[in-house]
Each structure stands twice: as structure tokens, then as C-alpha cells.
Amino acid sequence: MLKKLLFPLVAVFMLASCATPPTTIDVSPTISLPQQDPSLMGVTVSINGADQRKDQALAKVTRDNQLVTLTPSRDLRFLLQEVLEKQMTARGYMIGPNSPVDLQIIVNQLYADVSQGSVRYNIATKADIVIIATAKNGNKMTKNYRSSYNVEGAFQATNKNIANAVNSVLTDTIADMAQDTSVHDFIKQNAR
């Protein structure tokens, strides 16, 4: 009887020890929203996103002598499009087609450079996001938002450590977008 119980139990533990950690990074930044502008009266903007990174990886890490590629848990293009829609709605804009100003949010760079030795790791994260505002009258504006974040820790960098670094740099970038009024000013000047 004991053998019948012990063998499956040992097998389960052996399989569990062989399990590899997931290769996705949970991307869930904190979204900062700007103040509402009461002077906006029914101004509509259209928003779309693009991911122009050369590599879809968020990080590449060596684990058990193998290079592991870590990818985001959700499509960054749609994540940032959603962030910009929430920020523009908070300002007082309506989102829809056939608008006087089209906004495109582009991810140029979002990457966590992970270096690790036997006792310490370092994660250097960079974000480069661009908003291009194009008015129907032909005027155009490009605004860059860049941020970086570094963190060190003991032993090996886990997926959670990398996710925290990525979310931190994205949260900073999103906060910069919320505080900056240049795109908002451009829309107000060109939405007539």
C-alpha cells in the first residue's frame, strides 16, 4: 500500500522540479490620469497604436545555461493605446473616427537589460514612446517620452523582478504623458 502511494508522489515531485518558469512578463503599469479641461466641448480624437520594436522580447535571461526570451503578457500596442484613450477621455475628449486630429502612440523601445552573476543581478530598463498628432489641416507634431530605471538585487533575477522593473519604467513614462500638455495644446489649436 505504501509503495502505491509513494511512487506517484515521488513522480509528481520530480516532474514539478523539471517545470520551467513561465516566459511571459506581467505588464501592468499604474496609469496616471491628467486633469480635466472644462473648455473642451465635444472635441473628438482618434487613437491607434503601433509597436515598432525590432525584437518583441522584453528581456533575455540565461537560466540553467540556456538563453530564455521573456515576452509581455499582453500586446504593448493595445496596452498603450488603451492608456492614451483613458488619458484623453480624462482630459475631456471623446474617442472616435473622423476626428480633426489623429493620434498614434508608438512603442519604439521597451526592454529590460538583465545582467547577472553568481551573487547579484542588475536590471536596466528603458522605455521610448512617441505620440504623433496629425491634424486634418496638415499640421503635425511628434512628442517623445523616454524613461529609464535601474535596480540591483541578490542572486538571480526572477520574472517578478523583471516585471517590476518594466512596470516601473512604464509607469514613469505614462505619468510623464499625463503631466505633459503639449499634445493637448496641439489638439486645441488644430481642432477647429
**Position 162 in a domain:** yes
Residue 134 lies in a domain: yes
Does residue 184 sit within a domain? yes
pTM, rounded to two decimals: 0.86
pLDDT at 158: 93
Per-residue pLDDT tens listing for the chain (192 residues): 555 655 555 555 555 445 556 889 999 999 999 999 888 878 999 999 999 999 999 999 988 888 999 999 999 999 999 999 999 999 999 999 989 999 999 999 999 999 988 889 999 999 999 999 999 999 999 999 999 999 999 988 999 999 999 999 999 999 999 999 999 999 999 987
Inter-axis angle of helices 76-91 and 159-179, nearest 10: 30
Residue 41: what pLDDT? 79
Residue 86 lies in a domain: yes
In a domain, 89, yes or no: yes
Query: What is the extent of the structural domain holding 56?
Result: 42-191
Chain center to CA of 39 = 31
174: CATH? 3.40.50.10610
- Measured CA distances, 93 to 5, 18, 158, 185 (Å): 64, 52, 40, 12
Number of domains in the chain: 1
Q: Minimal CA–CA distance to 123: which of 161, 73, 171? A: 161
Residue at 26 is within a domain: no
pLDDT the model gives residue 85: 97
pLDDT of residue 169: 97
Specify if 19 maps to a domain. no
Cα–Cα distance, 145 to 29 (Å, whole number): 15
Domain-located, residue 111: yes
